[in-house]
Structure 1
């Protein structure tokens, strides 16, 4: 890894007002040279990468069973206490190694980064936006002091990946249940105040977008009133890392068949809340959102996850008529 990356986006004035751009609509437009490369990759790269992926996941599952041996979670899937001792040592070494190995398998040969990763006592929460695919959760794992995350409870049941998610001590949330969202927020506050936990990474928009606008942030990440560090991922030249309206399985196929994929990471300076922001989580969230949108040079959006669900419903109804 290198300590340099591309320049941040221009500080456009468009970030200062709500945009009308739809943050969910996205059409994957592949050129003929790209299609030819994918076709060749399907014959040569796909079987090799699938075999190596099985190897990486099998090694990850072995690590998960070793680290979690004898540990129990509560009804919400949460650990009551942080993983410590030899378990934490194994976790901190093997998780970054296996994450980087899997990224090599996927064709992410070089991942430049810019800025400095804050220590957990400097910023116990990472906020990431825009969020566009599962790669957003994999790439940050290559850095030391692995994070836990807030993720959907359904991800716990994904074959092979579920135990890998479980071992990073995530905070699970059932988005359709209000009480689950409240419990997740309470758990974020508890871990932040208790200390000893790995940093918490939160996709503060709550859903995937096309990265063309910044959705309103969920206030849960800001409810502890603790410093947060904004983290930004870029996928220059890798349009298949945007999972909104195109089926994820097709995008995974393209990912595995593409010879070289690109990603870069940028750490912004930690944001220390004012006394007013500590008492007002929505205000804190909005101010951080504006900072990140200005840094990226993208507009703000008033769309939310429920709007995406409504779009999907309308599209389904249109197909059935």
Structure 2
């Protein structure tokens, strides 16, 4: 990982779009190619994966049913009465069963810090590298989340998450270039990536994104709010650029560090063949996830007034505790790379790209593809 481009000092996000290095990209998986050992496991474990998959899918439908009952006829932007919220809390055990069927062995440390986080109404933050992250957060906290609006329309999954009363962000807002946003002297309600942006909570009147976050954090009738400040998934080798939205309210945050300990298969949700990678995940002897919950981070008065400064300092905490470098890439680079058609071969051994696109066999100009994503 030493050769991947990292942030220097406290400098703002600098785009790598004009000469993007595919060799060190956190969105292209090169760490765990398919080999003879993986083929052997596939043959050996695939018969066992089928009943696990059936049981896991059954748990998803049970979760969806419980979520539907808990949320039916209730405005998603209003705190739930106890019986509805208790059903949501009970449904988190379905998430735990799904993780078990996926073969995950999970170690959680620092659980004692959650009580203090709830006392100070901290906003939960976790690093994002896999679709498994969301299931793990549901299992641990049964929290509200911040999600892209399109997730609410996914069959079954949209029903599963409705009772968690997520804040939904329009997908096009996530595609904005973070380095074009004002980096300092932003007020809590007019930060660069919030100003004029609106979000909804499933049928409610749209409000500024920052206002919804502030209201959720202040109202103790709501569950803890969890966010992934990176805004997209990386490959579990680095910490991506932090968007400042979570830091606009200037409230304490609870860092939740997720580290997938893998040797043969990386579960990261990047530019992959979803079906193939899911099958590989199911055909491992076990998958390991370590979750470390740090003490709440209480911002100074300077950090509370400057979301970008606050974000950089919390990002440093994630980087230091996880022993991972900080990489100034974001959802912008991910979507641009995806649109370019560059991807790894099915076995993870060769980089594939449209003819004439790569420079020197590894670099690509992503700027034309970024314009398409706006």
TM-score class normalised by the smaller sequence: 0.7 to 0.9
Report the equivalent of 1:37.
41
Report the equivalent of 2:359.
none
Are 2:320 and 1:294 equivalent residues in the alignment? Answer: yes
Q: CA deviation at 1:286?
A: 0.8
Which region of structure 1 is more displaced relative to structure 2, 81-90 or 272-281? 81-90
Are 2:61 and 1:64 equivalent residues in the alignment? Answer: no
Query: 2-side partners of 1:157 and 1:176: how far apart?
Result: 16
Report the equivalent of 1:11.
none
Report the equivalent of 2:154.
158
Query: 2-side partners of 1:81 and 1:122: how far apart?
Result: 21
Are 2:95 and 1:99 equivalent residues in the alignment? Answer: yes
Which region of structure 1 is more displaced relative to structure 2, 188-197 or 117-126? 117-126
* SS of alignment partner, residue 111 of structure 1: strand
Report the equivalent of 1:4.
none
Query: 1-side partners of 2:208 and 2:164: how far apart?
Result: 19
Superimposed CA distance per residue, residues 274-317 of structure 1 (whole angstroms, 9 cap, x where no aligned partner):
01111111111111001111111222222121112222233359
Higher RCO, 1 vs 2 (CA within 8 Å, ≥6 residues apart): 1
User: 5 Å matches for 1:1-321?
Assistant: 17=9, 21-27=24-30, 28-42=32-46, 44-72=47-75, 79-92=76-89, 94-108=90-104, 110-116=105-111, 117-119=113-115, 120-129=118-127, 131-143=128-140, 145-177=141-173, 179-180=197-198, 183-237=208-262, 239-315=265-341, 318-319=353-354
Query: 1-side partners of 2:353 and 2:288: how far apart?
Result: 36
Query: 2-side partners of 1:164 and 1:258: how far apart?
Result: 26
Query: 1-side partners of 2:170 and 2:216: how far apart?
Result: 19
Q: State whether residues 111 and 265 of structure 1, in contact with CA within 8 Å, keep that contact through their aligned partners in structure 2.
A: yes
Q: CA deviation at 1:15?
A: 7.6
Greater C-alpha Rg: 2
Gaps of 5+ in 1: 1-13, 73-78
Query: 2-side partners of 1:169 and 1:91: how far apart?
Result: 10
TM-score in terms of structure 2 length: 0.73
Q: CA RMSD in A?
A: 2.4
Count of aligned pairs between the two proteins: 297
Query: 2-side partners of 1:312 and 1:91: how far apart?
Result: 35
Q: State whether residues 68 and 162 of structure 2, in contact with CA within 8 Å, keep that contact through their aligned partners in structure 1.
A: no
Gaps of 5+ in 2: 1-5, 15-20, 174-195, 200-206, 343-351, 357-374
Per the alignment, do residues 123 and 33 of structure 1 end up closer, same or farther by CA in structure 2, a change over 3 Å counting? farther
Query: 2-side partners of 1:254 and 1:84: how far apart?
Result: 42
Q: State whether residues 243 and 251 of structure 1, in contact with CA within 8 Å, keep that contact through their aligned partners in structure 2.
A: no
Higher helix residue share: 1
Report the equivalent of 1:6.
none
Q: State whether residues 123 and 229 of structure 1, in contact with CA within 8 Å, keep that contact through their aligned partners in structure 2.
A: no
Q: State whether residues 171 and 187 of structure 1, in contact with CA within 8 Å, keep that contact through their aligned partners in structure 2.
A: yes
Which region of structure 1 is more displaced relative to structure 2, 192-201 or 28-37? 28-37
Q: CA deviation at 1:171?
A: 0.8
